[in-house]
Structures are given as structure tokens and as C-alpha cells.
Amino acid sequence: MKIRLRVSALLLGVFFAIAGISARAQDVADTATLATAADPASPAPVPASWGVPTGRMLFPHNWLRGYADFEVAPPHNEPDLGRCSQSQAVILASGGANSPCTAYARYLIGGYLEVQPFGKTFLRHVFFFFSPTFSLGNNVPQYKYTASMSGIAYERAVGVIIELPKNFEVRVTQHQVDWLGKFQNSVGGQPGLDLGTAGPYGLYSTIGARWYFGGYGRSHSAR
């Protein structure tokens, strides 16, 4: 249990470290671009395209991009991760505020990371993504509301994206949820309290299409 929590914390730390390194690299690259544009002897810069990096073959401008996110749910608004029974009779029989099933999150920590390592040939239209979310808290609706950051679940989606003309994408995604801490096993208590579910949406894989419109998302250049 402690090992899995440490691994999850390490993954989160690596994610935020990559996001910080990418942001610093972006600042340096933007400064260089401005300097080049100011030189009248230099050619006009290539139009910016967040989704289709240009330049060198490997690790072009903006090849790492994404965001980090931290959210707090006010009391009486905790996300229900679908692990515990909502029956008040069952909760009362398990001790009310002392109920061992507390899978109602106070904090959601996560983000989104895209990796697009190629800047030339068709490969520049292929990239990978990783979207983690950690749910933390220790609450029982109507009985206990705390500021605890106890681990509840680690949810993530990973996959590959292929960009197509006209703002379309093909996405292959795998989604998975791992329970953390005490929720790796049954929390016991009154029968029917712990529903033993696989977490929000559980484990699945999908193949899908996405279409961007109205300026949303990355700014696609002419293909």
C-alpha cells in the first residue's frame, strides 16, 4: 500500500516537473523567435501552429505542452467516486461520521500532457497524451466533512492522436482507475456499504474522432 502511494506521488511529481521544464523551455524559445523576427535580414517566421510543430525533425518547438490543475470541492459538493453506498440506513449502521467508506473527494489534482516529438514528415501529425487525476479526501456526506488529503483514487487516460485535415483527429485511448490507500481492499463495515466498484468508468479502451471548431483548441495551419 505504502509503495503504491509513493509511486503515485512520484508520478505526480514527475508530471509537474515536466510541465515546469516545458514552460521554461517555451519562454526561451519565444524570446529567440522575437529576436529573429526583429532582424530585418532574417526570413519571416513560420506561422505559429500549436498542434503541428515545425522546425527540426526531433523535438521541435512546443513538442511538450499541457497544463497542471488543482481543484477544491467545497463542503457538501464532494465528488462521489462511486465506491460507497448512498443509503443513509447503511451509513448509520456503519457508524455515521465513523463510517470506514469515505470515498468522497475534497481535492482533485491532475492535468494534461501532450508529447509530439517529430517536426517533419507525416510523423509530425502523430503525438501522445497523458491525463492523470488524483482524488484525495476523507468525507462522509451529511456526517463528516474534513480537509484531509488522504489518497482515494488515481485515474488516468493515455493514448495516441493522429491529426487529420479540417481540424479532425483520430484518438486511441486507454482509461484506468487504481484505488489508493485503504480502498485497495474492501473497507468492511456494514454489508452493502462498500460497493466494490472499479472506480469512475473503470478500465476501458476507445477509438474515437474529434473535431475542433470555433477557434477552440490548437490553431491549425493550412495543410
pLDDT digits (tens, 9 = 90+) for 22-56: 445 444 444 443 333 333 333 333 333 445 555 68
pLDDT band at 13 (very low <50, low <70, confident <90, very high): low
The pLDDT score that the predictor gives to residue 197 is: 95
Burial 104-128 (b: 16+ CB within 10 A, else e): bbbbbbbbbbbbbbbbeeeebbebe
Mean pLDDT of 65-76: 97
pLDDT at 59: 87
Q: How many whole angstroms separate alpha carbon 54 and alpha carbon 51? A: 10
Q: What pLDDT is recorded for position 196?
A: 95
For 202, phi and psi rounded to 5 degrees? 60, -145
pLDDT at 155 over 70: yes
pLDDT at 140 over 50: yes
pLDDT (average), residues 134-151: 98
Residue with more model confidence, 119 or 151: 151
Give per-residue pLDDT as tens, 112-131. 999 999 999 999 999 999 99
Share of the chain above pLDDT 70, in %: 72
Q: What is the pLDDT of residue 202?
A: 95
- H-helix or E-strand containing 12? helix 2-38
